[in-house]
Structure 1
């Protein structure tokens, strides 16, 4: 009994600040996400505002549109250190989102391989909260390059999403990656609302710098805690399209992968996934489901709940919860990983902290007093995080936007079981049966379409970062999404051939 009480105390004394895990390694957004989500249901972390995000309650009269003359060419990246030859253009630099605070966001942008003048604009956002879209999205997932194990040279990602769109990566909020604020208090006052406002201000000013994209079809994509950022930014755009002059952004749709959507179902689905994949026992699952109250109005975590959670953490501690079947990094390159080296975080961290790389990227121009990290070590407590984004998804669907949700079926942190439970809360009738979709005569995953232009799909054999684990299937997916085409549910119907 004493041991059990001691173990409970160990769990409850884990710091509730969302960036605790990042302080240890500065890498895993799943670790950051887990600590953050569990912190939200602890009584001592109840100061996080979980009310719904509402753009109508925000004063956007302060949107500052600055002159961007000459900035685009100044941001042109001629060549990154160790980069292979490419024909597409790439840019990197800063856009000020709050002049009075000296708050500026770093972006990296790659034009499409072909037809950049006609293909859509796609913004990619990673989550955390507090993790970098440059480090994850650009360098490990959908960007044009990957970092070799020498952390000196790059090689081409032949499944880069700039084969389907012009792709923009944003490090948000201030304190993430190379993004910064001259007002140190900003790092202690980040949250969903501030992120939505700043992301919108960034986008409006970026489009002034790149005016050729003002009338282009615009989509937002991302994963993880991006399940908050993306619907909130989309709703902010729709609101301001109706209420501000000369700020029309041609938003056409959103696509989110393994997203945090609803606190209660996200948590329940995670434990259900563990039990269904023989990671925890049925008894542990029953204990969690019976004694844990993950609702916004709950009273925190009871002793019996904590015992169940600790049993689960004990059984998952040695796993990479990004992908429950993937090898973990043991500081040397692994031959076990098919599509992603488990040590890639280390290569990216080393590469992006090289002074010559930062100079080529036009990054770290203010010489921030800390290393670039995949997940921020300097951001303080998160101020607000709605317990659900279900109302936002309903609004976006009602507005006629194309909304896709996808799940890598090997992810253990926001697994497919969580997302399916969350989608049920939308209370939409499905218009197609649950069917396999195909790529190269192989099952790529399973898909179902709902009324209101919502599509849900799984990606077979993929972890949390779907484009890293299954790059060809992810590219196939994004091409269909951008073209408004259903995934092929017959072996004889493939809209796009695989890329060799």
Structure 2
């Protein structure tokens, strides 16, 4: 039995024992949000925010969520829980940058509240979505001892607990088809979450969840994705034939753990890093910004801009921000300013004194326990759950070829072979379906968070798949 199997087996009974206690602890039903600062007029969709308590007392563990009802037919449309990557990025990232009905208006920041606009390609037009801030410490979720609750397995258990407790508070959605949705690093915990939900159903945990499947975007799966990054970079013309051949020979196609005595491999890896030093590896077609989006110190921005704002009126000239407005991270900056505004927090019903500063991602103090998620995919395939695995094909961090490799290793027969899928008579990507009800799809010309860069294609892919239609 693998180390991952042992951990899964040992962790699960403990969770079952404590779950019955957790579900008895009452949680407050969320509050409706009808207007949001920065958005003109009442919201044209139903938004609810709230907390679900998972601890023995109200302050132990409080998980914050945004819930948006389907804009089509919430009584019949599927329910999805969305977990953003990181680990530790707020689910607000999924809502505001990828698949939700709101987006930030990209305009020069002048010290006033950033503006929100509607995203016409919101996945909430076909599904109700719970955007959840997990692991604890992410977004507006909080706990007495955050560090004690930040690990792969605790994230799995907490998400499962959250969902069943949320459904107890929202019984009208218990019968809706349920799907787990996630991307990036959450490709590690999400399949384990689905497996735990399934096992919970089997032993009769209440309420029974109408689990139908899951969908993952550019998911970390094996933690060996960098081994596919080098052939991807070569195929995309980012490194030369000669360097690629030398890397393969000297590193023996192992680029993650390099022997410190292997000077030839280290030399080649240095050359490789130099070739990609000006590339945004999360989306190789996008602008490279000096402050990589995953290394931004948003608190530093906030302090410097607050100081500037005090000496400026709203009618003064726009404040100069040292971030190119064309960079993806500019939107992240706007989100940080917006989420830390007092009027925004009041509208979202954030409990005062629970979160000093909101950061889009809080990735420190996290314990990595699950070595890979391949085994969970195998288990879920046997149980017959549907799955959609999609890849923005210009992501070098989790390249589509690494995703194809582990799917191929599942060794399931192909039902419908590789073909283009279309949008408005144009190729939007390529897809293949397997006998285990798994669909793989690429989103042409997109990056690590595919719907963010190609919203029309992302929306078409999701709505077709969720409706059980061919891409």
**TM-score (normalizing by structure 2):** 0.84
Root mean square deviation, CA, Å: 2.4
Match of 1:79 among 30, 35, 40: 35
Relative to structure 1, the CA distance from residue 441 to residue 182 in structure 2 (aligned partners, 3 Å threshold; closer, same or farther) is same
Q: Does 2:8 align with 1:54? A: yes
Local SS of the residue matching 1:367: coil
Local SS of the residue matching 1:175: coil
Relative to structure 1, the CA distance from residue 366 to residue 78 in structure 2 (aligned partners, 3 Å threshold; closer, same or farther) is same
d(CA) in 2 for partners of 1:477 and 1:107? Answer: 25
After TM superposition, give the deviation of residue 158 of structure 1 in Å. Answer: 0.4
After TM superposition, give the deviation of residue 308 of structure 1 in Å. Answer: 3.5
CA offsets, 1:6-56, max 9 Å, x none? xxxxxxxxxxxxxxxxxxxxxxxxxxxxxxxxxxxxxxxxxxx97345256
Q: Does 2:392 align with 1:435? A: no
After TM superposition, give the deviation of residue 303 of structure 1 in Å. Answer: 3.9
Match of 1:118 among 73, 76, 83: 76
CA contact (8 A) 2:415 2:434 kept: yes
Local SS of the residue matching 1:237: helix
d(CA) in 2 for partners of 1:99 and 1:306? Answer: 51
Local SS of the residue matching 1:234: helix
Q: Does 2:145 align with 1:153? A: no
CA offsets, 1:269-298, max 9 Å, x none? 1111111112123344345445267599x7
CA offsets, 1:128-178, max 9 Å, x none? 1122221x2011011111112345211000001100100110111112121
Relative to structure 1, the CA distance from residue 299 to residue 412 in structure 2 (aligned partners, 3 Å threshold; closer, same or farther) is closer
Match of 1:374 among 344, 354, 360: 360
Match of 1:180 among 109, 118, 142: 142
Local SS of the residue matching 1:54: helix
After TM superposition, give the deviation of residue 313 of structure 1 in Å. Answer: 2.5
**TM-score (normalizing by structure 1):** 0.79
d(CA) in 1 for partners of 2:71 and 2:455? Answer: 17
Structure 2 portions without partners, runs of 5+: 290-321
The size of the alignment, in residue pairs, is 424
Structure 1 portions without partners, runs of 5+: 1-48, 488-500
After TM superposition, give the deviation of residue 422 of structure 1 in Å. Answer: 1.6
CA contact (8 A) 1:50 1:384 kept: no
After TM superposition, give the deviation of residue 332 of structure 1 in Å. Answer: 3.4
Relative to structure 1, the CA distance from residue 430 to residue 472 in structure 2 (aligned partners, 3 Å threshold; closer, same or farther) is same
**Correspondences of 1:26-45 after superposition (within 5 Å):** none
After TM superposition, give the deviation of residue 364 of structure 1 in Å. Answer: 5.1
Relative to structure 1, the CA distance from residue 184 to residue 256 in structure 2 (aligned partners, 3 Å threshold; closer, same or farther) is closer
